[in-house]
Chain A
Amino acid sequence: MDSILLQILNGLDKGSAYALIALGLTLIFGTLGVVNFAHGALFMIGAFCVVTLQRILNISTVKIDPSKTDFLGNPLEVKTPYVVNWFGEATGNAIINWSVPLAILLAIPVMLLIGYAMERGLIKHFYKRPHADQILVTFGLAIVLQEIIKAFYGANPIPAPAPELFRGSFDFGVLLGMAENSVIYPYWRLIYFAFSALIIGLVFAFLKFTTFGMVVRAGMADRETVGLLGINIDRKFTFMFAIAAVVAGLAGVMYAPINSPNYHMGMDFLVLSFVVVVVGGMGSLPGAVLAGFLLGILESFASMNQVKSFFEALFLPSIDQIIIYLVAIIILLTRPRGLMGRKGVMEE
């Protein structure tokens, strides 16, 4: 029982990331009809917003303190970050400590801008080109973004710790009346799940309850008619693209403490998110979210030792590496439209 609970929890944080990225992908596909291969790169840029903010906050004045020496015998260099100088010891250190949540504030305008520039500057010119061209150009963009990040930040992962308050783990077992330390779960992953649930909720609420969202949904159903009603649907779709970029970026920001940002994290997640989109059904927002969590949990279940040994008996070693793909294959063979796919989407 406790191990099952633990696996469900473990699946949640990866599932949240899949769901957020897949949500953005579906949003872009549903509105603009473009498959964005650069979406993983947006996730990665979000994570690097944290790194950038950390670097900015840690810009320090260096004073040489002649009274102390370091272990080599040289005079000790004392580094004081500017924020500490400006806001005082306590506040300054707190700001540095909380750099990951603060990076959200940086990431939102940055991602909005990147999303807007991407759509207006590049994707706009590809609506009338074949799908293959759209895939290729966004794929090229993904390479470019990734390599730019690599050129600036290097190829090694850069650790981005969570605020100290959330570094511990939460003992779920005690809460449910089980033995102590039977189900331990890091606070930050819990926060990640809550955060992504919030974002997903916000996106859905935005689409459901605002006039803007209503127009966008109408445009997704029938773009031409909405255009004929005198609404500039292109501008609204551009904004949705930027929103999707923000969603991916925020997913990356909050993921930074779980997985140290590196330049290829985007592509690793993108491939799986594509599988998620395919399983959920192309063009279905709830499908993307559902499939994201489902596959995340499934993946962590498959890494359980009991499950592994069970599948090894069936000559399927290390099921945890391929479970997602296997599920995708089975779904595609039995339900080609995906779990919640709409009729007529991508069925040329």
Chain B
Amino acid sequence: MFSETRKNDHLLLLLFAIVTLAGPILLAPLGAGYPDLLQRFCIFGIFAIGFNILFGLTGYLSFGHAAFLGVGSYSAVWMFKLLTMNVIPALILAVLIAGLFSLLIGYISLRRSGIYFSILTLAFAQMSFSLAYSVLTPITNGETGLQLSLKDPRILDATNTSGSLPSTNLFGLTMNSTAKVDFLGMTLQFNIGFYFCAIMLIIAFYISMRIFRSPFGLMLRAIKTNQTRLNYTGINTRPYTLAAFVISGMYAGLAGGLMACTDPLAGAERMQWTASGEVVLMTILGGAGTLLGPVLGAGFIKYFENIFSKINDNVLHNTFAFLPDGLEDFVVSILHVFVGKGWHLTLGVLFMMVVIFLPGGLIEGANRILSWLRTRGKAGDNTAESKETTTTKTAVNPAE
């Protein structure tokens, strides 16, 4: 879609920023225009962009990224408890702690590559999860999860006399304040928290774009293509992979911190392997190694999670009311497994489908359709050649 010139990059960034900032308007007709969901789009977008810097560029498949997200959340909530309800120190701490944590884990895990690496990161994430649940209860508050309380010191804030919990803010702008505007029969909700997350997302996207275009990014791609060759050229690849790992860990920490900013509590279940699997799925679904893919994937999954979880048997019965009774009950009982609480089953099936049929994700799908249209427009002359060019293009990815 976009070739690699600097002008096109700026155009892409501008478009991305506009679409993100106009999110509440664009998504309102789709029923996704409310702050909670929009914030999740941005937060998981950041998470997936970060994951993509590691997986998409270097090919190292980490199964433990949720641990960094959890660490970020915990540190942000601790900042809210101890220092101030302002989000800036909380985010800084979240990113720093997640960075340190990923440095530690990355240093050990990156000694091996391939499957070993995946297994090691998975083991570390499970270790952090079980530690957060049991031993570290003084820090993480175990199963209940870490929450704010009125007795917290919050040394920088004025003493709280209202008797209710303070809300997170950015220099006085409270995160959960929403301006509602009626527009064409829809209620548009402009939420401070969302705009804060959106700006973070745009910054995160910009940084990831810079990394993709930099010599550093090129080196990471070289590692993905042929690490042995790099080693024989005399290049020590480990500092590069470690840097990529730490950067993506910091992105996860930022996402975790933002989660705490929009809803100041943190629980260990954020660190579970299913959460790590989810970000892998987002990245793959969108298209690993592409700039836009992870954000698309994150938005896609969070949107459908929202829709599917809401569907219950009543909705299904209404939808299939046109069928004869016996058939209706049959269809509903089949679909019942996939909706509501069964959303994870749908997610698993989707995961498998994408890996099997569309390893390049939505971006590859879009490219395939585009090239198909193009070749059809050319009335089928030298189809083989154009097919070849498109496949190489998708393999090297459009955002190069």
Residues of A with Cβ closer than 8 Å to B?
A: 35, 122, 125, 129-133, 135-137, 139-144, 146-148, 151, 267, 271-272, 274-275, 277-278, 282, 317-318, 321-322, 325, 328-329, 332-333, 336, 346, 348
Question: B127 and A322: CB pair below 8 A?
Answer: yes
How far, in angstroms, from A328 to B355 measured CA to CA in the complex? 30
Question: B134 and A135: CB pair below 8 A?
Answer: no
Question: B114 and A346: CB pair below 8 A?
Answer: yes
Q: Which residues of B contact A278 (CB under 8 A)?
A: 116, 119-120
Question: B228 and A147: CB pair below 8 A?
Answer: no
Question: B359 and A133: CB pair below 8 A?
Answer: yes
Question: B347 and A275: CB pair below 8 A?
Answer: no
Residue of A nearest to B353 (CB): A140
Question: Counting chain B CB atoms within 10 Å of each CB, which of A122, A143, A144, A348 scores highest?
Answer: A143
> Which 7 A-B pairs have CB atoms at the shortest separation, nearest pair first?
A143-B348, A140-B351, A147-B345, A140-B352, A144-B348, A318-B135, A274-B119
B306 adjacent to chain A (CB < 8 Å) = no
B277 adjacent to chain A (CB < 8 Å) = yes
Q: A140-B352, A147-B344 are in contact. Are A321 and B111 (CB under 8 A)?
A: no
Q: List 14 A-B contacts (CB under 8 A).
A: A35-B119, A132-B55, A132-B59, A132-B118, A135-B118, A136-B351, A137-B356, A141-B348, A267-B273, A282-B116, A322-B127, A336-B111, A346-B114, A348-B227
Q: A151-B337, A271-B122 are in contact. Are A143 and B351 (CB under 8 A)?
A: yes
Total interface residues in chain B, CB < 8 Å: 42
Residue of B nearest to A328 (CB): B123
Q: A137-B356, A143-B348, A329-B108 are in contact. Are A321 and B228 (CB under 8 A)?
A: no
Question: B131 and A140: CB pair below 8 A?
Answer: no
Q: Which residues of A contact B118 (CB under 8 A)?
A: 35, 132, 135
Question: B114 and A348: CB pair below 8 A?
Answer: yes
Q: Which residues of B contact A131 (CB under 8 A)?
A: 114-115
- A interface, by DSSP: helix, strand, loop or mixed? helix
B113 adjacent to chain A (CB < 8 Å) = yes
Q: Which residues of B contact A336 (CB under 8 A)?
A: 111-112
Q: Write the nearest CB–CB distance from A65 to chain B, whole angstroms.
A: 34
Q: Write the nearest CB–CB distance from B135 to chain A, whole angstroms.
A: 4
Q: Which residues of A contact B337 (CB under 8 A)?
A: 148, 151
Residue of B nearest to A142 (CB): B348
B126 adjacent to chain A (CB < 8 Å) = yes
CB under 8 Å from chain A, chain B span 245-280: 273-274, 277, 280
Q: Which residues of A contact B59 (CB under 8 A)?
A: 130, 132
Question: B123 and A346: CB pair below 8 A?
Answer: no
Q: Which residues of A contact B61 (CB under 8 A)?
A: 132, 135-136
Question: B119 and A325: CB pair below 8 A?
Answer: no
Question: B123 and A141: CB pair below 8 A?
Answer: no
Residue of A nearest to B125 (CB): A271
Q: Which residues of B contact A129 (CB under 8 A)?
A: 359
Question: B108 and A275: CB pair below 8 A?
Answer: no
Question: A147 and B342: CB pair below 8 A?
Answer: yes
Q: Write the nearest CB–CB distance from B204 to chain A, whole angstroms.
A: 24
Q: Write the nearest CB–CB distance from A265 to chain B, whole angstroms.
A: 14
